[in-house]
Amino acid sequence: MTDKDNFVPDEGLAPASTILPAAAGPLQDLSTPARSQWMDVWDQFKTHKGALFGSFVFIFIISSVYIGPLLWGIDPQFLPQGRDFINLRDTRPIWVGLFDADAKVDWSHPLGTDNLGRDMLARLMFGGQVSIAVGLTAMLLALFLGTLVGVLAGYVKKLDGILMRLTDLFLALPLLPLILVASLLFRDPLSAMFGPEGGTFILIVMLIGVTSWMPTARIVRGDVLALKEREFVLAARSIGTNNRHLILRHVLPNVLSPIMVSATLGIATAIITESALSFLGFGFPPDFPTWGRLLNDGVDRVASYPERSILPGIMISLTVLSVNYLGDGLRDALDPRIRGR
Amino acid sequence: MLTFTIRRLVLAVPTLLFISLVIFLLLELAPGDPMAQVPLTVPPEVKEKMREALGLGQPMHIRFWKWLVQFFWIEPQVLIDWMIGTTFSEGDLRVISWQTRSPVMDIVVQRLPQTLWVVGTAYVLATIIAIPIGIYSAYRQYSWFDQLGTFVSMIGFSVPPFFSGVLVIVIFSVNLGWFPSIYDTTLKVTDWESFLKQLQQMIMPVMVLALQITAQTSRFMRASMLDNLTQDYVRTARAKGLREYTVVMTHVLRNSMIPVITVIALGIPAIFGGAIITEQVFKVNGIGQLLIGAIQANDLPMVQTLTFIFAVLIVVFNLIADVLYGLMDPRIRYD
């Protein structure tokens, strides 16, 4: 697993015909299959129980949210009419029937329905798709901006001062109030251009992305500054590599680990920010469920139907918790100083 | 140190000016119309006059300048007048809210105590809880206490306040009926009875906020203690026969507190921002709710002033954190 372990002679695996004494150190590598860096990372990642569990939960949530609707054929937007509306609305989840015999439960709606008779399970899955899509896209945007600013600031000396002042300035802005203001002010033009749902999606992704790139930029800049002085960069430059290739082929792969860690943490913050916006009523339109929106819709009748707020809340928390554990494990696994301990 | 502080103070002025410009431009370029609420029967020329009465007739840079003068020159005068009883600001135009037609700062001053009470209590309480937790979980690293602390703070990071708030309302208000779910700001603490009531209604918002702050601060405390516990000076202290308590609580703790105190200082403005959601959940009518209401009502002077106050808090506490760091750590010298 570690460098140390590789140096320990492994008699069992060494072919009998080898003429080298087993203690010949690094040459041992020849007899064992070559290990890539990512195998080491994976080995270290496996030892972090929380991270492993977190990644399983995260993959489970993503797959159930995206594959689930294919199996569960109820339309989340379907509004029952007439008698059906009276019959279907306000169904409680099935477990309520265990301790309350009078409760209105229905096996065809295991998590119940809302006050308009829409199926909660379908709405949760649909809401999850939106929340996770917003989280992933906003994270990608923030990473792109952060890496761009960080690499430029670290690599181009002239831009360093300006870009870092810009980063400081963004860090000094009161972000949540500004996101709230901007989300209300720019909603109408974007909705007119891309439709109410598409416009809001673009708006929220842009707002979260534009306001969360600063930590990534700082980390990447620091790493690039250190990498720039290393010999392999000098070697690459001496054989005539141009700047674009130098950055893309030599510098960027080496700052990949901090970027990956901030990617996982970025998903978590993006999902929380989106939910907070939807919760405060500044997010998606009411008939377009996301987890935060569902939570908010349930608050008014939380005394009679607590599950309508608690289920989406649990989904948000579980997703963020699993992503945070994933990021924690990833940070340990990608840090060569910790790896193998 | 003094020159550094002065330099930073001078540098803060352009930063704040730039931030106020950014906020002003954001609100200016936005397509919202403050006249949207006015009935359609009002003729356009009257609307135009109303617009001018709100101060919207002048070009952009003049309005920005007027806002700056009002905020930085007239409002402090009002404050001085109010404190000493002089009449510097008589007859001057103040920043007026479009919602209530009264000065913005007056409303902010009305709302501030609620926010400060809830947020301040939560912050103090959380810090008091978090520091011992951090110390002990670092001292007994990987013990069950440490594992539990890590898990709880992971939950504190991951559960957003709008969910933990709703959860405690369901548990403590709906099912147990112990605490009221709505914060009553008209309550005046006069005797023991009303004090208990105030305490009851404060418990849930404070709990929600404190969970988050404790999670962050205890993690920082733990990491900082872990960094210091393996240092050479700790071994020296132990080798010369000091008691374990003295080693940890005097030598290690004092050094570990340096980054933690700056983190605590940096967290204060973030808490004001984060309290927006908690205030909304528990219907505390503090600054956060004022901001939400102002945004929804398109009350631009109010939004501008409040956002700028948040920005001032961030800049000021950044400065405080930097100065504190320099004062406490003799290795750091800025000059």
Segment A73-114, tens digit of pLDDT: 777 777 777 777 777 777 777 777 777 777 777 777 777 777
Coil/strand/helix, residue B96: strand
Interface contact flag, B162 A292, Cβ < 8 Å: yes
pLDDT band with cut points at 50, 70 and 90 for residue A173: confident
Q: Quick one: pLDDT at residue A143? A: 92
Interface contact flag, B18 A176, Cβ < 8 Å: no
Q: Quick one: pLDDT at residue A145? A: 93
Structure tokens at B209: 């906020």
Segment B107-139, tens digit of pLDDT: 888 888 888 888 888 889 999 999 999 888 888
* Minimum Cα–Cα distance from B174: chain A residue: A303
Mean pLDDT of A195-202: 82
> How many A/B residue pairs have CB atoms within 8 Å?
123
- pLDDT for residue B51 is more than 90: no
Coil/strand/helix, residue B66: helix
Q: Quick one: pLDDT at residue B160? A: 87
Q: Quick one: pLDDT at residue A138? A: 92
pLDDT band with cut points at 50, 70 and 90 for residue B36: low
Structure tokens at A25: 């150190």
- pLDDT for residue A169 is more than 70: yes
Q: Quick one: pLDDT at residue A14? A: 45
Q: Which of B274, B281, B311 sits opposite A173 (nearest CB)?
A: B311
- pLDDT for residue B217 is more than 80: yes
Instruction: Report residue A117: phi and psi, to 5°.
Output: 80, 15
Q: Which of B162, B274, B310 sits opposite A279 (nearest CB)?
A: B162
| Partners of residue A311 in chain B, C-beta under 8 Å | none
Interface contact flag, B276 A189, Cβ < 8 Å: no
Mean pLDDT of A231-243: 88
Check CB contact of B155 with chain A, cutoff 8 Å: yes
pLDDT band with cut points at 50, 70 and 90 for residue A241: confident
**Lowest-pLDDT choice from A210-214, A282-286, A322-326, B164-168:** A282-286
Chosen from A173, A206, A341 to mutate, greatest number of chain B CBs within 10 A: A173
| Partners of residue B17 in chain A, C-beta under 8 Å | none
Mean pLDDT of A39-61: 83
SS3 track for A189-200: HHHHHHHHHHHH
pLDDT band with cut points at 50, 70 and 90 for residue A12: very low
Enter the DSSP assignment of B231. S
pLDDT band with cut points at 50, 70 and 90 for residue A11: very low
Whether residue B165 contacts residue A279, with contact meaning beta carbons closer than 8 Å, is answered with no
Residues composing chain A: 341
CA distance B215 to B230: 24
Structure tokens at B312: 């001032």
| Partners of residue B18 in chain A, C-beta under 8 Å | 169
Interface contact flag, B295 A268, Cβ < 8 Å: no
CA distance A10 to B22: 64
Comparing C-alpha atoms, which of B18, B158, B264, B245 is closest to residue A162?
B18
**Lowest-pLDDT choice from A181-185, A266-270, B51-55:** B51-55
Q: Which of B19, B158, B276 sits opposite A172 (nearest CB)?
A: B19
Whether residue B148 contacts residue B232, with contact meaning beta carbons closer than 8 Å, is answered with no
Mean pLDDT of A252-272: 86
Segment A120-146, tens digit of pLDDT: 888 888 888 888 999 999 999 999 999
Interface contact flag, A295 B307, Cβ < 8 Å: no
The pTM (predicted TM-score) of the whole model is 0.82
- pLDDT for residue B164 is more than 90: no
Q: Which of B280, B307, B313 sits opposite A181 (nearest CB)?
A: B307
Counting residues of chain A whose pLDDT is more than 70, the rounded percentage is 88
| Partners of residue B22 in chain A, C-beta under 8 Å | 173
End-to-end CA distance of chain A: 9
Coil/strand/helix, residue A92: strand
CA distance A186 to A59: 34
